[in-house]
Structure 1
Amino acid sequence: MELDIVALSRLQFAVTALYHFLFVPLTLGLSVLLAIMETVYVMTGRTIWRQMTKFWGTLFGINFVLGVATGLVMEFQFGMNWSYYSHYVGDIFGAPLAIEGLMAFFLEATFVGLFFFGWDRLSKVGHLMATWAVAIGSNLSALWILIANGWMQNPVGSAFNPQTMRMEVTDFFEVVFNPVAQAKFVHTVSAGYVTASIFVLGVSAWYLYNRRYVDLAKRSMTVAASFGLASALSVVVLGDESGYLSTEHQKMKLAAIEAMWKTEPAPAAFTLFGFPDQESRETHFAVHIPWVMGLIGTRSLTTQIPGIEDLVEHAKVRIRQGISAYDAVQQIRAASDQSAVPQAARDALEKNGRDLGYALLLKRYVDDPRKATDAQIDQAAWDTVPSVPSLFWSFRIMVGLGFFFILLTGTFFYLSARRRLDHYPWLLRLAVFAIPLPWIAAELGWVVAEFGRQPWIIEGILPTAAAVSSLGAMTVLLTLLGFIVIYTVLFIIEMGLMLRAIQSGPKPDDEPEAILVPPSLIAAE
């Protein structure tokens, strides 16, 4: 069997990214929950809140260490497995990652140490500030990473330089304030908050069900239910914003998510259920809800959402225009100096330069895109369609879980307000079994975002197949197997540590409970 270097490189990055993303959401959410709990401790002086902060902080620390270790490996892969990608867009992609390391990661890592070792060395307010710094650093880290990823989805503020054959920054602020990046950031962070809330809710429910650490469990559930409900609601709202932006910047991804093979009259219907068949290009047993997709995708009743077949026809046009741009680039590179470049080549690049990436899709079938046949152009155009069944079901499972989280956190929020958290044992068991669900939703969200961008590693600019390093397939296969083995061992160790910490429970706090003395008694003395 012939090994495909592109497929293996994609699989290796997907495995490491999915594994790394097991830790990211919990880090984002727990850091903020810790800061909230410690804020209550500082304001009230109640030792139980300090005990809560320390206990959940232990679980945060275990998760944080594994997240850092797996995140570093991902960054090295850009140079190892995706060297042409690093060369092509390193001027843009590298800047947010460098800022993330300097601004966010160092801030987070420094104050994590103060959080764990500063309880008896800092004042209450000083330690609280360190805890909030950890939370801010974690979220800033996510911001800069998602700015880099958002640029891959919507490459703004940049231009192609035919002399260096690289993308270069033209407007850094446009890269930073990319609407896709900002929407992805708030959506991802909110999903992390939901993940941590369900985790705290589930573990606390297990304690309450077994009548262990009841005071800590009830308080933790109250905080998690309140924070989780607000976060779950925001995930839905911000997910709607992401869908709206996809209509503008990633039309093919949206059409694939909806299995919308043909353009429908506006407003388009939402496919609630069905079985997409990519070979026959139809969706079997489809159940439609009229108008809903048009309202979500365009926020109007008159704007059409293009279907897959129309988008493929548009891709054929862009491929032909890209061939013209590719020919112009070759003339510019072949010229001995800039004055020798034909004006017609300059004009062609100026007119069709934004479609150069579409010509590179032909590299999969022919070395020189200018020699491509009509059949190869048609084939390359259909390559712009990602796996429709994968996106269709990933999106619907993710959304279904999102509404379940709203229901679950809303129920416990109501019960906490009524002080009836321990009145329904079956609900406590449900909360325990729900612990893994936010991770499933988060991983499916990653699949929708990244798998839906294929065949592009940078939307409309650089095909994934053109971005890999010149490595032997066996080399990538061996490193992939090595990562799987090492990560499996790390996962087993991490789960063992987490379960042991949960089983052991919170340690007794050595700080005496604050006693508030009535002013009248002080005056009498």
Structure 2
Amino acid sequence: MDLSIVELSRIQFAMTALYHFLFVPLTLGLSIVVAIMETVYVMTNRPIWRQMTKFWGTLFGINFVLGVATGITMEFQFGMNWSYYSHYVGDIFGAPLAIEGLMAFFLEATFVGLFFFGWDKLGKVQHLVVAWLVALGSNFSALWILIANGWMQNPVGASFNPITMRMEMTSFFDVLFNPVAQAKFVHTTSAGYVTAAVFVIGVSAWYMLKGRHWELARRSIAVASAFGLASALSVVLLGDESGYDVSQNQKMKMAAIEAMWNTEPAPAPFTLFGMPDQQARETKWAVHIPWAMGLIGTRSLTREIPGINQLVAENVNKIRSGIVAYGALMKIREAKGDVPDNVQVSFENHSRDLGYAFLLKPYVNDPRTATEAQIVKAANDTVPTVWPLFWSFRIMVALGFGFIGTMAYFFYMASFKGMRFPRPALRLAVWMIPAPWIAAELGWFTAEFGRQPWTVDGVLPTALSVSHLSATDLAITIAGFALFYSVLFIVEMGLMIKYIRKGPYQDVEETEEWMERHEKRLNACDDDRAGLSPAE
């Protein structure tokens, strides 16, 4: 096994996935913001809200197209770079991907066209329905993708078939309502809503600093701050749910995120700051918040969170159990249907640990021949690199609380201070535009890097999932993707900046102000006439 192939395959998928997710959160959030604005337009019939819907809808469209292009490329990699993974778990993983393509993507793509080209062909209510269907389709796409990813984190509703040598689905209901997938969905979509809110506020703040499109900017901030505050609070609350799920289903990931080398007495503290040292198996200069991690991870004062060293010891036993399952599996394969009862029972008793035996494959062809040193080495491989997880999680959390503060401030100023925003606050809003993307990428890094060395947690190691490619093939495709995506990034940024600088298609602010003044004058005339006699 050439481990360089594994690392290059991981680098390529990480590059394309992280790049693709630059577009996903803004698509999720802007689709809802645009639908809200069009709802207000239909209810009030004021042209300014139609203008806002079209303007932010244009930016949504640019982002949507780039997201689709990069998402298709990413899905192709499952067949190109991860063929054994696709073979081994394709029966489960492929189902939500297929549904996403047939149901969500076609729904979204169809109504996106109607949204942009149906303004003069559909009625107001019909076009509003289209806008909400676009938003629904966007979120449906995220749902099915996150169900697939959630299964990789917590593989429920499936079992290994020793005859086909593949994982097979046993309960679509369990896969669909996987608690990890559901928590990831609501957490990810809420993060997308925050991304859109920060983006809308930042662009609107830039307009106000430039003295342009004042009414559009004020109203956009009012909508985005209310929407963003609710979403930012949801991200934190739902992130707590995700943390609880991790502590239940991925104990090593939780211990690595906390740099918790040994099991702490319950309730465990939260490490606010520290410098993890993986060689020494300790966290230097640690600053703790008592009880916090125990409450988040276990929601109790009595349950312990196991440390890394204790989990490694447990994994040594799981690897030994997996070796028994592997031996029984080989006998089942050799028996060709006439399987002794004791062999079948042995496999069923130990099959849940079969994946741990596969951790020995980088060191020995047949896990049954592994030495004790190789078993210990494989158990230590289950510990991901701690310091990147430790810091990426904390930066993400810090940014999350920063978004709550920012949204609360703009919501307060928009609702109770007549939308009079100080210029320093507007400048801060502009500078904060990249922050939710940083938080989102760090969140995905924590989720995916923390799962290593598994592609499917506890079932299939990453080292066994790759295709039979050469390092040269992968190096060429990585360079090609890097070049192609750099061009797409330049195009994306160029288009977004162009249309932001250009502003709305038609500035209706002056027209609205004139209509309001004209209506006041007519009302005043009516009042004056009411006081005159018939002769006058």
Relative to the length of structure 1, the TM-score reads 0.97
CA distance in 2, matches of 1:320, 1:237: 39
Amino acid at match of 1:272: L
Contact kept, 8 Å, 1:47 with 1:509, in 2: the verdict is: no
Contact kept, 8 Å, 1:225 with 1:412, in 2: the verdict is: yes
The reply on whether 1:401 has 2:399 as its aligned counterpart is yes
The reply on whether 1:58 has 2:58 as its aligned counterpart is yes
Contact kept, 8 Å, 1:209 with 1:422, in 2: the verdict is: no
Q: CA deviation at 1:247?
A: 1.1
**SS across alignment from 2:56:** helix
Contact kept, 8 Å, 1:3 with 1:473, in 2: the verdict is: no
**SS across alignment from 1:364:** coil
The reply on whether 1:202 has 2:223 as its aligned counterpart is no
Contact kept, 8 Å, 2:3 with 2:463, in 1: the verdict is: no
Amino acid at match of 1:238: L
Larger radius of gyration: 2
Query: RMSD of the alignment, in Å?
Result: 1.6
Q: CA deviation at 1:210?
A: 1.1
Amino acid at match of 2:204: S
CA distance in 1, matches of 2:134, 2:165: 40
The reply on whether 1:319 has 2:335 as its aligned counterpart is no
CA distance in 2, matches of 1:66, 1:387: 32
**SS across alignment from 1:280:** coil
1:437 to 435, 438, 446: 435
Residue 298 of structure 1: aligned partner:
298
CA distance in 2, matches of 1:428, 1:291: 38
Residue 388 of structure 1: aligned partner:
386
2:458 to 460, 473, 477: 460
CA distance in 1, matches of 2:360, 2:275: 30
CA distance in 2, matches of 1:289, 1:65: 45
Residue 498 of structure 1: aligned partner:
496
Contact kept, 8 Å, 1:25 with 1:195, in 2: the verdict is: yes
Q: CA deviation at 1:221?
A: 0.4
Q: CA deviation at 1:334?
A: 1.3
Q: Deviations over 1:265-314 (max 9, x none)?
A: 10001100000011111001000111110000001000000000000000
The reply on whether 1:352 has 2:350 as its aligned counterpart is yes
**SS across alignment from 1:212:** coil
Residue 188 of structure 2: aligned partner:
188
Amino acid at match of 2:280: S
Q: CA deviation at 1:348?
A: 1.2
CA distance in 1, matches of 2:205, 2:507: 22
CA distance in 1, matches of 2:349, 2:340: 15
CA distance in 2, matches of 1:446, 1:421: 35
Q: 1:3 to 1:95 in 2, by over 3 A?
A: closer
Relative to the length of structure 2, the TM-score reads 0.95
Q: CA deviation at 1:509?
A: 6.4
Amino acid at match of 1:461: V
**SS across alignment from 1:506:** coil
**SS across alignment from 2:183:** helix
Contact kept, 8 Å, 1:31 with 1:134, in 2: the verdict is: yes
Amino acid at match of 1:222: A
Q: CA deviation at 1:510?
A: 8.4
The reply on whether 1:21 has 2:21 as its aligned counterpart is yes
CA distance in 2, matches of 1:209, 1:510: 19
Amino acid at match of 1:305: I
Contact kept, 8 Å, 2:154 with 2:180, in 1: the verdict is: yes
Amino acid at match of 2:136: I
Residue 119 of structure 2: aligned partner:
119
| Range 505-514 or range 402-411, more displaced | 505-514
The reply on whether 1:133 has 2:157 as its aligned counterpart is no
CA distance in 2, matches of 1:36, 1:315: 50
Percentage of matched positions with identical amino acids: 69
Amino acid at match of 2:55: F
The reply on whether 1:485 has 2:483 as its aligned counterpart is yes
Residue 307 of structure 1: aligned partner:
307
CA distance in 1, matches of 2:126, 2:102: 23
CA distance in 1, matches of 2:81, 2:58: 35
Q: CA deviation at 1:325?
A: 0.3
Q: CA deviation at 1:400?
A: 0.1
CA distance in 1, matches of 2:426, 2:269: 38
Q: Deviations over 1:328-378 (max 9, x none)?
A: 111111123x12x22222111110000000000000111110000000000
Residue 176 of structure 1: aligned partner:
176
Q: 1:55 to 1:428 in 2, by over 3 A?
A: same
What are the within-5 Å matches in structure 2 for residues 94-113 of structure 1? 94-113=94-113
CA distance in 1, matches of 2:140, 2:19: 21
Residue 84 of structure 1: aligned partner:
84
CA distance in 1, matches of 2:40, 2:485: 37
CA distance in 1, matches of 2:247, 2:392: 18
Residue 362 of structure 1: aligned partner:
360
Residue 237 of structure 1: aligned partner:
237
Q: CA deviation at 1:3?
A: 7.4
The reply on whether 1:289 has 2:289 as its aligned counterpart is yes
Contact kept, 8 Å, 1:398 with 1:441, in 2: the verdict is: yes
Residue 272 of structure 2: aligned partner:
272
Q: Deviations over 1:29-78 (max 9, x none)?
A: 00000000000000000000000000001100110000000000011000
The reply on whether 1:475 has 2:473 as its aligned counterpart is yes
Amino acid at match of 1:253: K
**SS across alignment from 1:133:** helix
**SS across alignment from 2:504:** coil
Amino acid at match of 2:183: A
Amino acid at match of 1:249: N
**SS across alignment from 1:386:** coil
Q: CA deviation at 1:209?
A: 1.1
Q: What is the aligned residue count?
A: 517
**SS across alignment from 2:360:** helix
Residue 331 of structure 2: aligned partner:
331
List alignment gaps of at least 5 residues for structure 2.
531-536
4+ runs deviating over 6 angstroms: 509-518
Amino acid at match of 2:262: K
Amino acid at match of 1:33: V
Q: Deviations over 1:450-495 (max 9, x none)?
A: 0000000000000000000011111011101100010001101110
